[in-house]
Amino acid sequence: MNIYLAAPLFSQQERQYNRRLAARIQERLPHAVMVLPQDFRAGPAGGSYNDRRHLQVVYKHCMEAVREADILLALLDGADADSGVAFEVGFARALDKPVLGVRTDFRQLQVKGLNVMLAEGCTEVLCHFSFDENLDHLVEAIITRIEKLAAPKRRP
């Protein structure tokens, strides 16, 4: 199972959190492959993903990875979710991929703390509003939802 982690990746703190979360999920779901766009490299020499000369290549890598994903795991924290994550959610849903949105930010906006288009665009939204900073508790909740979304659909 390929799990694409759609998450903000613009600061060192965000990238480190993404990596820790992905590693913990990978430990619990060893058969899964965690895909982190922050690891994509661009350009002829595999340059950095933030090199403006190669942003089209990064975009293509992301779109291909979403197409290949079995599930998109979207981190939706912040006063407004990251615009790239929002795009990836919409793209995954257009491909009929399951999307698990995760929100730990306790600020309340329209629906579940999200813009209605994201809240309704996700297959499921896990709201983990807590001051519990134990990442393993969040990972347990995520894995339960991933397993549910990955289960074969039963026809009546």
- Residue range 10-48, pLDDT digits in tens: 889 999 999 999 999 999 999 999 999 988 765 555 555
Give how many domains the chain has, as a whole number: 1
CATH of the domain at 45: 3.40.50.450
**Average pLDDT along the chain:** 86
Contact at 8 Å (CB) between 70 and 97?
yes
pLDDT at residue 154 tops 70: no
H or E, element range at 146: helix 135-150
Per residue in 59-75, pLDDT (tens digit) is 899 999 999 999 999 99
Per-residue pLDDT at 45: 56
Q: How many CB atoms lie within 10 A of CB 64?
A: 11
Residue 138 lies in a domain: yes
Q: What are phi and psi of 35, to 5 degrees?
A: -110, 115
Residue 125 lies in a domain: yes
pLDDT bucket at 101, cuts 50 / 70 / 90: very high
DSSP assigned state of 60: H
| Domain span including residue 11 | 2-68+75-150
**Residues counted in the chain:** 156
- Residue 16 in tokens: 């480190």
Higher pLDDT pick, 121 / 4: 4
Q: How far apart are CA 48 and CA 114, in angstroms?
A: 31
Higher pLDDT pick, 13 / 108: 13
Residue listed under structure tokens 């999200």: 114
Residue 155 lies in a domain: no
Q: How far apart are CA 152 and CA 20, in angstroms?
A: 28
Nearest to 72 by CA among 91, 46, 44: 91
Residue 27 lies in a domain: yes
Q: How far apart are CA 79 and CA 126, in angstroms?
A: 17
Residue 81 lies in a domain: yes
Residue 156 lies in a domain: no
